[in-house]
Structure 1
Amino acid sequence: MAQPKVDLSKLDTGMAGPRAQVLVLGSVHLSEMPKSFKPESLDPLLDRLAAFKPELITIEAISGEGCDLVARHPAVYAPEDVDRFCRDPSPARAATGLDVPAAIAEVRKTLKTWPAQPTPAQRRRLAATFLAANDSASAFVQWLYLPKSERHVGDGLDAALVALLQRFETRNNESFQIAAPVAVRLGLQRLYAVDDHTGDNVYIDDPERYGKAIQKAWDSAGAAALASRKQQDTLTEQSQMLALYRLINTPEAQRLKIDADFGAAMRETSPQHYGQLYVAGWEGRNLRMVANIRAAFADYPGARVLSIVGATHKPWFDNLLGQMQGVDVIDAGKILK
């Protein structure tokens, strides 16, 4: 095997200036929580994340710019796939008069001169602009800042957009239930969407056969992986969210999960090499997501960054971010103690 000719691991030795601190929080997808789930059970987790004092928070969502891109290429990205991840921005465009590119430009302009004590009208206008930019989570951050008496129509928010923001208040989604409340606690004005499905847009000749092959590989999970899943299910049913997050962020739980998922896929024996296609798409997606994280704090040397992502991404995120110059990856276990 060819070995790297240039060792980059010590390039930042003796660097001038502060090092960035990045905490990757592996998360469950709250949309999959049972009906017994109590959002207030997240409070101990939020306390620990806020104590880390991130200056920038990234989330597993596609940016407005990314959604705008894939929507313009229906021959490459199937509209039914796009609709799973990207909200229709047309209602916000009708309310604000801004299409996605114009809204993104307006957000940038607004935040450059954002006052220390914005008025409710300014927050409503920024929330509407974020919605027009197809950045729902950042719009919700602005909504949470508003006193309940100020959460109403006006300044770009029409009745439809207000109803949308009100629905976000009770939506089980880690961007709304974890990232946004932490941002508000710390005085942050926005979140950064870093997901990217252009990297996993792999051609599959027979989706049904592909799905069966991958499911068969997953069904081969060993006893240890099954026991870990059962433990996670028990904590989920009991709404012991801090204990659950502590568990899924341990190296052992992650090793068991990725071996039962991607390791099993690499051992899958279909003549079409479906398992390899699956892993290739997964790695392409993670590479682009980590690139988006790096770009998000490129303008902020020494930033403290919280990246909230599905737990199965965490090993890739930790490994890839650990190769970046001037970046330290923080042990999530220590933060969640």
Structure 2
Amino acid sequence: MRHLYAFLLAAVVSGAASAQAYRPDFDPSKLKGPAKGPANEVLVLGSPHISYFPKTFDPATLRGIEDRLAGWRPDAISIEALSGAQCDHIRRYPFRYQDTIKSYCWDPAPAQAATGLDVPAATAEADKLLKAWPANPTAGQRRRLAAVFLAGGERASAVVQWLRLPQAERRAGDGLDDGLVELLDKLKDRRDESYLLAARLAARLGHERLYPMDDHTADSMSEDEKAWGDAIMKAWTNPASEKRRRQGDALQAKLGTPEGVLAMYRAYNAPEEMRLAFQGDWGAALEEPSPQRFGRQYVGYWETRNLRMAGNIRDVMGLKPGMKMLVVVGASHKGYLEAYLHQMHDVRVVDTGPLLR
């Protein structure tokens, strides 16, 4: 019996060691193509969330970073936002996504009332309009597309159309009522990088829309929310997190000038930032000791979310091979998105360093 036990133990130990040592031989990142023709290029700009900036922040100081991004001339711009289609989907499962809907999904009912289109119909209508979009659309066509985007839950793309209109043409009509006009006027100045940076840049470059690529389908409620939250907060209490917080505070203190804004973006896109973020956040959560393994649940959610975000970005590039795509996303996502996108055969990840110097 002792011999059988020893044999089984050796087999288990050998299997565990083998699993740890095994590396798949197939590595997509080393099989880049195509041999001829332009590859897809993606530049992931890690951004601070402007909603957390002090009230004294002047959006005009973003023009320096906007100028540099405009010089790269992306063909498409993707943002950290949920698509109207995903919000429409998760609204069907409120038992799981109640908090997600409240935090990330705008209710398109006012736009539906104005246009007569629900989210699926508006999504199809926007696609139809864009496929037949003229080189020089009228103001009425832009107002109509803005209204359709709003009905489809695509607020940032509606703002792009709004910004492309002359000031005198930013008025009700063609599906926009007075309430939607008021909404668009507020959104264009919303303290959010998707509007103050991405939407303005898209309008400046002559784009017709933005591409929301965030994903919250991995969201779920823990059976013990308090215990889960306490465990994660405890894991986050560490020297790396404190160092990152101090550095962020110092950078925010210099936001009064375009140079200060550029300095913040340089810091948030430096390799050291991602390493420090991992040490203080997901690396710490991996070792969180609760019996329920709350930290590993959190890391699983985070990796799943980023994988799906990367998939959404790749999906857009597949529509028009050879494009240059800018991704404006919270800085904590940058390292993960670059690593996942680097695995794609037809994607070249562009270094933000030279652009931000």
Q: Post-superposition shift, 1:7?
A: 3.4
- Structure 2 partner of 1:128: 147
- Structure 2 partner of 1:56: 76
One-letter amino acid matched to 2:43 = L
Alignment map for 1:253-332 (pairs within 5 Å): 253-332=273-352
The equivalent position to 1:205 in structure 2, one of 223, 227, 236, is 223
* SS class of match (1:98): coil
Runs of 4+ in 1 over 6 A off after TM superposition: none
Q: Distance in 2 between matches of 1:135 and 1:263?
A: 35
Give CA deviations for 1:77-132 in whole Å, capped at 9, x if unaligned: 22x32121000011000000100001001100100111111111111111000000
Alignment map for 1:47-196 (pairs within 5 Å): 47-78=67-98, 80-196=99-215
Give CA deviations for 1:120-173 in whole Å, capped at 9, x if unaligned: 111111100000010000000000011111111111000110111011122101
Q: Post-superposition shift, 1:306?
A: 0.2
Q: Post-superposition shift, 1:258?
A: 1.9
- Consecutive unaligned residues of structure 1, counting only runs of 5 or more, are none
* SS class of match (2:41): strand
- Structure 1 partner of 2:353: 333
Q: Distance in 2 between matches of 1:233 and 1:49?
A: 25
Aligned length: 333
- Structure 2 partner of 1:215: 233
- Structure 1 partner of 2:23: 3
- Farther-moved stretch of structure 1 (4-13 vs 39-48): 4-13
**8 Å Cα contact 2:97-2:220 kept in structure 1:** no
- Structure 2 partner of 1:252: 272
- If each structure's helix is expressed as a fraction of its own residues, which one has the higher value? 2
**8 Å Cα contact 2:33-2:345 kept in structure 1:** no
One-letter amino acid matched to 1:162 = V
- Structure 1 partner of 2:263: 243
RMSD: 1.3
* SS class of match (1:271): coil
Q: Post-superposition shift, 1:14?
A: 5.9
What TM-score do you get using the length of structure 1 for normalisation? 0.96
Q: Looking at CA atoms only, which structure, 1 or 2, has the larger radius of gyration?
A: 2
One-letter amino acid matched to 1:299 = L
One-letter amino acid matched to 1:328 = R
* SS class of match (2:80): strand
Give CA deviations for 1:202-246 in whole Å, capped at 9, x if unaligned: 441211111111111111133xx5344323222213312111001
- Consecutive unaligned residues of structure 2, counting only runs of 5 or more, are 1-18
One-letter amino acid matched to 1:207 = E
- Structure 1 partner of 2:3: none
Q: Distance in 2 between matches of 1:14 and 1:65?
A: 32
Q: Distance in 2 between matches of 1:156 and 1:100?
A: 15
